[in-house]
Amino acid sequence: MITVKELEKSYKTKKAVDKVSFEVDKGEIFALLGPNGAGKTTTLKCILKLKKMDNGTITLNGTYTYLPEKKELYKSIKVKQMIEISEDISKYFSKQKALKYIEEFNLPLNEKVGNLSHGMATLLYLAIILSENVDIYFFDEPTWGLDPIMQKKVLELIRNLSLDGKTVFLTSHILSEVEKIADKVAIMSDGKIVEYDYLDNLKEKYVLCITQEKVNGYLYKKTENEKVFLCKKEHAKGKIIPATFEIIFEALVKEGKR
C-alpha cells in the first residue's frame, strides 16, 4: 500500500532523510522509530506531499487520512461543531462513529475546543481521524500526552484498524507501545534507516553477548573487565543473553549516530 524508495530530503545543509526505503503491505501496522530529529516527521510529510522531496519515489495505493504531530484544531468552536465541520469537509467521515468515539473518550460535546486539555484535544483529533473510512491511516505520535488508560484504548483502536484490513503507518517514541501493536518496524537514526524488519524477526535476530573478544556487532556497554555487545546471533561469542527491543533500539541508534 505504501512504497518508499531512496527518499531524500535536505533542509539547507541538513540532510534530514537520506536514501530511505521501505514497503508497507495491506493490513500491516508499520512503525517508523527513531530518536528526536531522526527524520521521521520529514519522511511522513514527504509521503503525504506536505513537503517536497529532493529525490526518490513514493507510491501510495488507496485513500488515506493523517494525524499530525502538532494536534492543532479550531479553538473557538465547540466539539460538536468540529464533528459537523469534519462531516462537511470529508466524504469518508462518519458522524455516527465520531460520536461513539467522543463518548468512549469522555469528551464534552458542548465544550469549546480551546478549553480542552492537551490530551483531550489529541483524543478529539483521534476521534475524527478514526471516523474516516479510508485505506491507510497515518499517525504521527498518536498517544503523545495521553494518560495510560486512554493510551491503551487508542492502541487497541489502532490494532482494530488492521484487523479490519486497514493499513497503518505510525511514528512513536514509546517502544513499549510499538512492541504491542506493530508488525513491522524501521529504525531511523540521523536520516538513515539502520534496521528494517518484522518485529518478531528483529527480536529473533539479535542477542547480547558478554566477552573480552572482538565481536562483529555493536558495543553496547563496557565495564572494567567486561564488554557487552549487541550482535546478530551468528556472530555471538562468550556468554549470550537475550536482547530486549529497547536494547536493540538503543544500540542501533547509537551506532547510527557514529
Ligand X SMILES: Nc1ncnc2c1ncn2[C@@H]1O[C@H](COP(=O)(O)OP(=O)(O)OP(=O)(O)O)[C@@H](O)[C@H]1O
Give dist(CA 9, CA 161) in Å, integer: 30
Residue 11 within binding range of ligand X, rule CB under 6 A: yes
Q: Select the residue interacting with ligand X from 7, 24, 39, 107 (CB under 6 A).
A: 39
C-alpha cell at 82: 468540529
Q: Which of 6, 14, 95, 160 binds ligand X (CB under 6 A)?
A: 14
- Sites for ligand X among residues 53-82 (CB under 6 A): 69
Closest separation between CB of residue 170 and ligand X, Å?
12
Q: Which residue has the cell 499530525?
A: 68
| Cα–Cα dist 15/8, whole Å | 8
Q: Which stretch binds ligand X (CB under 6 A): 35-43, 72-80, 211-219, 241-249?
A: 35-43
CB of 11 or CB of 92, closer to ligand X:
11
Q: C-beta of 34: minimal distance to ligand X in Å?
A: 5
User: Are the C-beta atoms of residues 67 and 86 closer than 8 Å to each other?
Assistant: no
Considering only 29-37, 147-155, 209-217, 245-253, which stretch makes contact with ligand X by CB under 6 A?
A: 29-37
Does the protein bind ligand X through residue 92 (CB under 6 A)? no
The secondary structure of residue 111, as a DSSP letter, is S
Under rule CB under 6 A, residue 175 binds ligand X: no
- Please tell me the distance from the alpha carbon of residue 80 to that of residue 131, in angstroms, as a whole number: 14
Question: Bridge-partner residues for 132, per DSSP?
Answer: 93
Selected range binding ligand X among 10-18, 57-65, 148-156, 175-183, rule: CB under 6 A: 10-18
Grid cell of 135 as nine digits: 485505506
- Does residue 142 belong to the site contacting ligand X (CB under 6 A)? no
256 makes contact with ligand X (CB under 6 A): no
Residue 8: φ, ψ to 5°: -135, 140
Whose Cβ is closer to ligand X: residue 42's or residue 131's? Answer: 42
**Other CB atoms within 10 A of residue 201 CB:** 11
C-alpha cell at 236: 555471538
